[in-house]
């Protein structure tokens, strides 16, 4: 909050991975200042063999089920990684659960972090080999996971009165966007540190075609994090904040009407 105020930002979205725990403290810290805090969340979901992240802006952090579902997701991921680490122990390849969690940092823990720990210990040359020999489906340390789909995240966000936005889609997620529009996706994160000017143009066209909101952000994680960029380095107009707030108002109205 102090950094955002020093930069003169008008609004700041708080969208942690799979938790809304920071929303209340952020709102409290910004109270009485000119900075508007947009309560949010970024939900990690499984899409094919990779992940897709779905942002929920203006979610009500106290919405029934939201934090319960997010907690179940977090527990599921952790249990899976614990099991993988135990299997590796059994194979004579101890990597240490603590080290794996450390490598995950503030992100959600997954197999790539186990792969990096295997490389660090010198058991494999690189993460590709880690997957091919141990971690890929059908290999000795593989553990199935409970999948949570992008469409399920969109539904969860809508039920919590939030505006669902696909985070940093990059150039190759057009079909996912097409699919999610039918389930209530309201916007795409066009401006992001990982997006080249060409990707931005591509996504702007797609958003116009699909009548989707255009959002953006720095994806700032933490001072020492390798994820995202510096706070305030990628910004959008406060018009976007107004659009999101208005849309959230009508979504919340619908969500409470259904309840």
Which single residue brings its beta carbon nearest to Zn ion? Answer: 53
Q: CB burial class (10 A; 0-12, 13-18, 19+) of residue 248? A: buried
165: its two tokens? 């936005």
Q: CB burial class (10 A; 0-12, 13-18, 19+) of residue 245? A: middle
Stretch that binds Zn ion, among 29-37, 48-56, 95-103, 197-205 (CB under 5 A): 48-56
User: Residue 43: beta bridge partners?
Assistant: 54
**Closest C-alpha to 154, from 181, 108, 185, 123:** 185
Stretch that binds Zn ion, among 67-75, 114-122, 150-158, 166-174 (CB under 5 A): 166-174
Q: Please tell me what DSSP assigns to residue 65.
A: T
Select 85 or 218, whichever has its Cβ closest to Zn ion: 218
Least Å distance between CB 249 and Zn ion?
A: 26
Select 167 or 234, whichever has its Cβ closest to Zn ion: 167
Least Å distance between CB 198 and Zn ion?
A: 20
Least Å distance between CB 227 and Zn ion?
A: 8
Q: 167, 180, 206, 252: which one contacts Zn ion (CB under 5 A)?
A: 167
Select 96 or 193, whichever has its Cβ closest to Zn ion: 193
Least Å distance between CB 192 and Zn ion?
A: 9
DSSP three-state, residue 193: coil
DSSP calls for 159-182: HTT-EEEE---TTS-HHHHHHHHT
53 binding Zn ion? (CB under 5 A):
yes
126: its two tokens? 């690189």
Least Å distance between CB 156 and Zn ion?
A: 16
User: Which residue ranges make up the site for Zn ion (CB under 5 A)?
Assistant: 53, 167
């Amino acid at each position: 909050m102090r950094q955002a105020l020093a930069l003169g930002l008008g609004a700041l979205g708080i969208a942690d991975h799979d938790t809304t725990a920071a929303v209340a403290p952020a709102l409290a810290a910004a109270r009485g200042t000119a900075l508007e805090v947009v309560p949010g969340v970024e939900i990690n979901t499984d899409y094919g063999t990779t992940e897709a992240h779905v942002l929920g802006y203006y979610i009500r952090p106290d919405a029934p089920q939201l934090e319960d579902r997010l907690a179940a997701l977090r527990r599921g991921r952790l249990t899976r990684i614990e099991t993988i680490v135990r299997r590796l122990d059994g194979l004579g390849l101890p990597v240490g659960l603590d080290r794996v969690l450390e490598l995950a940092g503030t992100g959600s823990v997954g197999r790539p972090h186990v792969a990096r720990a295997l490389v660090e210990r010198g058991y494999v040359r690189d993460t590709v080999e880690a997957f091919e020999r141990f971690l890929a489906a059908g290999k000795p340390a593989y553990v199935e996971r409970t999948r949570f789909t992008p469409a399920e995240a969109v539904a969860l966000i809508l039920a919590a009165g939030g505006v669902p936005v696909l985070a940093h889609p990059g150039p190759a997620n057009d079909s996912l966007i097409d699919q999610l529009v039918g389930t209530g996706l309201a916007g795409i994160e066009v401006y992001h540190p990982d997006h080249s000017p060409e990707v931005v143009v591509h996504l702007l066209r797609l958003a116009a075609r699909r009548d989707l909101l255009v959002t953006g952000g720095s994806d700032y994680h933490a001072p020492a994090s390798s994820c995202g960029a510096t706070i305030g380095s990628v910004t959008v107009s406060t018009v976007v904040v107004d659009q999101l707030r208005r849309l959230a108002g009508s979504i919340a109205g619908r969500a409470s009407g259904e309840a």
